Every structure is written in structure tokens, then in C-alpha cells.
Amino acid sequence: MAAIDLAALARSRGVDLTVWPPRYDPAYRPDPGAEWWLPEVECAPPAARDELVLAKLQAQLGWAWERSPFYRRKWQQAGVSPAALKTLADLARFPVVQKAELRDAQAAHAPFGDYLCVEPGEVARIHGTSGTTGRPTVFGVGRDDWERIGEAHARILWGAGIRPDDRVMICSFFSLYMGSWGALKGGERLGATVFPFGAGVAGQTAMAVHWAQDLSPSAFYGTPSYALHFAAAARREGFDPRSFGFRVLFFSGEPGAGIPATRRLIEETFGGICVDMGSMAEMSPWMTNAECRHRTGMHLWQDLVYTEVCDPETFQPVEFGREGTPVYTHLERTSQPMIRLVSGDLARWIGDPCPCGRTYPRLPDGLYGRIDDMFIVRGENIYPSAIEDTLRAIDGFGGEFRVIISRREAMDELLVRAEYAATHADPGAREALRATMGERLRLRLGVRPVLDLVPAGTLPGTEFKARRVVDDRDLYRRTLGSA
């Protein structure tokens, strides 16, 4: 197996991967007809790329060990140090980081926590969570990190089919929310025309529709639910959403773009392709989970952020084909590096090839749930097992279900998507079934869910019991600033 020729890469594309953090030529851009931004890395045999990943990982761990009391303490307690990392598999010996630890570290060492690995004066941007529940988390992004985030996002947006002659309309909240700014930075680095319209102000969507009509943007960024809201506003204003000419619509912040029915709806509504992206704000560059233009599930861009899909109890990587929770590790972040940050999301990963030629592993179903069981809706503690239990006791239930919790207006909304058996296919029987399910769930849960009935066999089975919940409330709050 030939290693990636780093010297050739530096000559041809101005990318110096022999130093850490890597150096990128800000003037570099592929030919617009090219499929890839950095094909030598994106399409490399995985084992060859892993050598590069290992070298970056060793440097990243060394950086954190030298500069962060947080990581040094954690790793010493676990009996590991950067010297223990001889292969990529050794990363699983390092303890994971939970979000609560980051909040605690920031409470003890305000404002950035003792995992800030640069001088506070080198922080170029402060972002954060809105903190509607509990203490907000502060993100300090270093100046050079911000430029590298732009590099990473440009490369990934290129894979989604965005080109310099595109006009990218960004319809999400410009606040502490990282999503909007990350999309903006990537679009700028790529050389596209960016149009940071924003979202979340009363009356803004109707305005956005008219601006889109006048400016003919060719790409859209936002959340899937906002895109559909935008389409509805367009129709109210007398426009067909297809008339805007969006060629590429890319999303983060909610799992919808990876849900086949939602994707289909978005593509039919706008006539462009729907591309699913996004990991976590802490992990910026957050686009390192991202589909290419072929939309075969999110690629894990492993040489930018190294992702392990892990068993949610042991945090050891699971084999391809299995599901677990993504655990993320930065590879070129100097300010607030995250090393083995647990996402809490649920995903399945595979190593199958994609028609685009990239050799990254993929999440074929996106991020489709959360590993934690209990959730709270309108003050009621709700367990998916209670929903399962109730549904299974009802004659006519088709065998599988999903729970989607979202926040619309000021209220949490509980949507239960349940299969109906073939015996209940006719509309009358289905309506009776809907009434029974709604009433029994209300009695059991204390909250009346919205029911969406689908034919048996529609929803794929899950490997983990009760891992059927999609909670997009936090993301929704951060995006649209409700609550």
C-alpha cells in the first residue's frame, strides 16, 4: 500500500500536511469541473489515509496534553498519555468526554474551561449554546482554527456540488448558533456568492421569499423544517418554490434531511437536491458529517474530524454495519480541541464504496435518534418503552414506530409515527385505529401525541431496544431562537 504523497500534494494543491496544524494555501481552488477538492486524500485507500490521520491525531493529542489541565487530568486518571497512541485503534483507550464535563469545566474555569489550549486573546470568535436549559456552553474559536474551518467546509461543500458560480442563500439564525456562520465561512472560502439572509425575525420568511425571487440564489442552507416553512410562505406569496431555482439545498441542525420521506418532500418541493450534513457545534468544522451530491448517507470526513461509531455503554467502536453513537475527535483544532466527545446521537455506519469515489465510511441513515431513553415533553417524563408497550397492546399496530419531539411555537410537540397492520389498511379502520392509539397514549403518557400512521414494513427495525426517539428541540431553539 502506497502512502499518500504529501510532497506532491503540497506542490499541486498548496496543502502542507507535513506540519501540524496543517497549512493551506487560501488561493487554492480546484477546477470547477473537478469532482473533488482534495482527491489524493478523499479517495485514498482507507489504510493509506489512516497513516495521515494517525500522524494528525498524535499531534492533536500532544497539543492538548501540553496545554490543557482538563485533558491531562482525565488521561492521567485513565492511565494513558499521547505516547500510548501507536495506532488509530489505541484511541479507544482514551476516556470519552461528555458534554456535562465541558459545562463543569467552564463553571470552574470561566469562561472557556481548562480545555482552551490557546491564549484567550487568540480567540477570534465566541459562540455558544443558547442555554435555555441549564448553563450555556461557550465556544472559543481560535483565529487560525476559523480559517481551517473555512477550508474544511469549502472542501465538503464542493463535494455537495457547490461551485464558485453558485449564490448561496443562508436562511438560519445569525446569532451564537454555529450553523449559519459555518455555512457562510465555507461558502466564502469556496468562492461562491454568499447571501446571509438569516431567519427568526417576525415577517422575515415572507421577505426572504421575495428576495429569493429577485436574486435567484442557486443554493439554500437552513434546517429542513425551515425549508418547508419557506416553501409554505412562498406559496402564500404566490410563488412556486421550484421557481427559485435552488439546485442544491444543504442542511444541518435537524435529522430531517436524512429521513427519506422528508428528503423526497424537499426535493419535490424545490426541484433541487437535498444534502444532509452536521455533527455538533462543539465539533466545528461541523460539516465533517456530510453527504456528497450522490446523497448516499453522510460521509465521515475522517482526516478532518476522526469519528468512531461506538457502543453507547462501553464507548468502544462497533463494526461496520452496526449502530452506536458517534464519538468525535478533532484533528486540526488548536483552541478548544474535542477528543472523543460523545454525541449521544444514534447512527449506523458502513464502509461500502460511494459512487463519488470517496473512500470515507458513511452513515447511510444519517443521525436518526438519541441514545438516552427518557425525554420530557410539556413537563411529563416519557419513556419510549411506555409508548412501545401501549402500541403493542393495540390490535392493528403494525410492529414498528418512531417518536419525534419538536418545538413549534412555544409548545413541545410529540409526534408518534406508527405502523398499521395490513388488516387495518382501509381508511375507516385506520381512523378508528388512530383514535384508539391517540386515547391510550394520552392516558399512559399524560400528553396527547400527533399520530402519523404508515403501512407496516415502512420503518426499519432498530438494534437497540427503545432507541426510536428523535428530539430536535434544542436544535430548533438554537436555529430559530424560539422559547
Using CB under 5 A, list all residues that contact Zn ion. 292, 294, 354, 356, 358
CB nearer to Zn ion: pick between 160 and 405: 160
Contacts made by residues 109-114, CB under 8 angstroms, sequence distance 24+? 111/138, 111/140, 112/138, 112/140, 112/336, 113/70, 113/138, 113/336, 114/68, 114/69, 114/70
Alpha carbon distance 296, 347 (integer Å): 14
CB nearer to Zn ion: pick between 185 and 358: 358
Q: Which three cell numbers stand for residue 149?
A: 474551518
CB of 363 to Zn ion, least distance (A): 12
Strands (E), 260-303: 273-276, 289-290, 298-300
- Chain centre to alpha carbon of residue 392: 32
CB of 358 to Zn ion, least distance (A): 5
CB nearer to Zn ion: pick between 282 and 365: 365
Cell numbers 498548496 correspond to what residue?
A: 14
Q: Which three cell numbers stand for residue 263?
A: 428528503
Q: Which residues are within 8 A (CB) of 275 and not within 5 positions of it... i.e. 6 or more apart?
A: 160, 161, 248, 249, 250, 251, 257, 290, 291, 292, 293, 295
CB of 455 to Zn ion, least distance (A): 30
CB of 435 to Zn ion, least distance (A): 44
CB of 429 to Zn ion, least distance (A): 43
| Residues paired with residue 47 on neighbouring β-strands, in sequence order | none
| Residues paired with residue 299 on neighbouring β-strands, in sequence order | 290, 362
Closest CA to 256 of 235, 286, 228, 294: 228
Query: What is the phi-psi region of residue 466: left when phi exceeds 0, alpha when psi lies from -120 to 50, beta otherwise?
Result: left
CB nearer to Zn ion: pick between 38 and 356: 356
CB nearer to Zn ion: pick between 157 and 231: 157
CB nearer to Zn ion: pick between 227 and 292: 292
CB of 293 to Zn ion, least distance (A): 8
CB of 214 to Zn ion, least distance (A): 34
249, 265 in Cβ contact below 8 A? no
CB nearer to Zn ion: pick between 39 and 455: 39
327, 341 in Cβ contact below 8 A? yes
CB of 367 to Zn ion, least distance (A): 17
CB nearer to Zn ion: pick between 42 and 145: 42
